Structure 1
């Protein structure tokens, strides 16, 4: 594959999968700009390794795997941990605001379904996101996450059960 073909293929992959990969990255890091940066890293790795891509998987699942690994590496990084500390400090200072102002801010920050999904443990959150938001099949999810199809199905079932109980409890408490 010559450089021009490689450039054209990368450009097409970015058009076809860029937005999906940003959404996947966002589901992990919960920061739009960081998600975009991680996807940019994904495409850089893709470009460098394009010749070595084995056709035994779909390129889409290969890109998802690279993106998810980028996200996991980021979440283990020192930079991310420092961002978390700054966020904690921000939340702590927010708690000293007058109660009316605090209530308005809390109302503004709520996106209940998304927050509920994000509250799930990572193993459930990632399969829910890939299945419902990215419309991947159980087989594709298994390949992306490097787990068995039965594990995907089990995690989806358990995630649904947890979501159902969380939503019922929230409804019971009048939220």
Structure 2
């Protein structure tokens, strides 16, 4: 269902569409902020409640996806500011569903472990670097889209991406990523 078709639907139908198409995205973004799956799930529910209550105010100046990203990022930032958590260790890492072809079980396990270690390294970045990295690489958003969502200039996004990549590279080259 495209954006034009959604305009003719009821708020309940629009909400169902948004939850089905963007629910995983909302959960991943929330997880990048709080680093705990259960809390991220609770936040996701709150975001969709807020979205439902705000559907009448949607003005079609952006896509529903961009609008939902903006609500998600703003809600997560407010949550992090209001909640006193620091240095939480994630119990699991959220991965996109995928079914890649691996040569063997061993290579599959090694690849999963490498991805887990890399994602944990990403989670150790500052929120500003982490959110840009997640939106760019995990959500496949463009620099202008991220700038619009976060309310900053595209040059700021480029700088944050550069710093995030540099920090990750230093961690990998220094062996930090592969330490236990």
TM-score, normalised to structure 1, is: 0.76
Of 15, 31, 34, which aligns to 1:10? 15
Aligned to 1:155: 160
1-structure distance, mates of 2:116, 2:168: 15
RMSD: 2.7
- Measure how far apart 1:134 and its partner are: 0.8
One of 126, 130, 137 as aligned partner of 2:142: 137
User: SS at 1:170's partner residue?
Assistant: coil
Unaligned runs of 5+ in 1: 89-107
Distance 2:76 2:128 in 1: 14
Equivalent runs, 1:16-165 vs 2, <5 Å: 16-77=21-82, 80-81=83-84, 111-165=116-170
TM-score, normalised with respect to structure 2: 0.74
Q: Indicate the structure (1 or 2) with the bigger Cα radius of gyration.
A: 1
The runs of 5 or more residues in structure 2 that have no matched partner are 1-5, 90-112
Q: Equivalents in 2 of 1:76, 1:159: separation in Å? A: 22
- Which is helix-richer, 1 or 2? 1
The number of residues matched between the two structures is 149
